[in-house]
Amino acid sequence: MAAGVRTMVEGVSSVQAGEQARVRIGVVGCGGRAGAHLRALQRHPEAEIVAVADVAESAAAKAGEALGVPHYTDHRALLARDDLDAVWISVPVFAHGALELAVIERGLPFFVEKPVARDLETALRISAALDRAGLWAAAGYQLRYGEGVRRARAYVAGRTVALVEGHYWSGTGRHGGWVADFDRGGGQLVEQATHTVDLMRYIAGEVAEVYARQTTRVLREITAPDTYTVSLRFSSGALGTLSASWVHDPDDWAHANVLHFGLDGCLVRIAGQAAELLPASAGALPEVESIPGLHGAFLAAVRDRAALPGVLSPYRDAVATLAVSLAANASAAMGRPVSPLSSA
Ligand SMILES: NC(=O)c1ccc[n+]([C@@H]2O[C@H](COP(=O)([O-])OP(=O)(O)OC[C@H]3O[C@@H](n4cnc5c(N)ncnc54)[C@H](O)[C@@H]3O)[C@@H](O)[C@H]2O)c1
């Protein structure tokens, strides 16, 4: 079929590009993080960005003009288009809720950046609306797709985990803005170390209880704490410890999202994209099959109308990760252990 010819396949329209149907995407949120998504989607042979939206006219116009597509300042105008197969959402933590519910109302699957909301009630409302509509959504925990993480997960599966250690030390809070504002961003555990929490859950299973402390020692100008420690108890019985701090050098990312899984006689270490089994005499992590990355997995799921198993971070699962961070925030505020499972 000639490029650019629209077809209706079982009620879902798509644009044919040679042999391959391209998934037509509307992008909502054109800020810092969206830049990488727009580039990845633009060069992906299975994607076509048809329109963009951002509440900031300048951000919407810049992205729309760069891509040569219409731009809007209201997501409802974008959703009124009749040529969308899916929506790609990359808005700040505080901006979730009505947006996702409108996408669901429009009957479209969506991708949404992590964390999926600032509060659990909003996330659960969206999750329930997805279920009611028979729709699915993918969250932006892109580290799950990395080969090192998947090799680590394959090794740990079926083995007894005694201890999980993770830390996320960065200088991000120094940049201020909504990220460093507790009410809008939720603090480092919600906005940033959520990646560490998510990998803990992805590899070691559910977290049954957290007991957290928070302090501000250096960044007194921001409204979020600059340092956290969290003690975790996993449903398996394993124990965990997580530390997060924003007082670090903002140019040093070597201590951001580093995890250790303590097993019988060895440990698995994840740092950035790399994973290793230590000591070397313990052998090697297993090989894993190559899979599409975050963008490819989403596009394939839209095309095939099946989120699983390609989408490694489904919305409901991302809600459970959010629940752990929020439980840690609550624990730090109340000074007692909190169960994330009681509310997720
Ligand atoms: N996965 C990752 O590794 C990663 C990395 C950085 C940021 N993020 C996440 O991406 C999301 C966006 O972060 P960012 O750094 O791009 O923030 P940003 O402030 O740079 O950009 C956000 C954009 O969204 C727009 N916006 C706000 N409310 C909106 C609404 N209701 N509708 C449409 N547009 C709206 C803003 O005008 C802004 O242009 C956050 O959830 C953040 O945590 C993820």
Q: Say if CB 155 and CB 194 are below 8 A apart.
A: no
| Domain-embedded: residue 307 | no
Specify the amino acid at residue 190.
Answer: V
Nearest atom, ligand 1, residue 99 CA: 31
Place of tokens 């670090």: 248
| Domain-embedded: residue 242 | yes
> 25 and 99: one domain?
yes
> 201 and 60: one domain?
no
State the Cα–Cα distance between residues 222 and 215, nearest whole angstrom: 12
Output b/e per residue, 230-258; b: 16+ Cβ within 10 A.
bbbbbeeebebebbbbbebeeeeeeebbb
pLDDT score for 341 = 78
| Domain-embedded: residue 306 | no
State pTM to two decimals. 0.94
State the Cα–Cα distance between residues 217 and 228, nearest whole angstrom: 11
Quick: pLDDT tens for 275-319: 999 999 999 999 999 999 999 999 999 998 877 789 999 999 999
pLDDT score for 309 = 81
Q: How many angstroms does the Cα of residue 304 sit away from the middle of ligand 1? A: 28
Which domain CATH number covers 15? 3.40.50.720
> 106 and 151: one domain?
no
State the Cα–Cα distance between residues 228 and 163, nearest whole angstrom: 19
Q: How many domains does the chain have?
A: 2
Report the 10 Å Cβ neighbour count for 3.
Answer: 10
Last residue within a domain, chosen from 125, 140, 155: 140
Nearest atom, ligand 1, residue 98 CA: 31
pLDDT score for 306 = 79
Residue numbers of the chain with a pLDDT score lower than 50: 1-18
93 lines ligand 1 (CB under 6 A): yes
Structural domain including 82 reads: 6-140
> 177 and 133: one domain?
no
Q: How many angstroms does the Cα of residue 288 sit away from the middle of ligand 1? A: 32
pLDDT score for 21 = 79
Residue nearest to atom 5 of ligand 1 (CA): 33
> 93 and 239: one domain?
no
Quick: pLDDT tens for 194-230: 999 999 999 999 999 999 999 999 999 999 999 999 9
| Domain-embedded: residue 131 | yes
> 33 and 98: one domain?
yes
Please list the residues that pair with 163 across neighbouring strands.
239, 262
> 79 and 127: one domain?
yes
Residue nearest to atom 19 of ligand 1 (CA): 31
Specify the amino acid at residue 177.
Answer: G
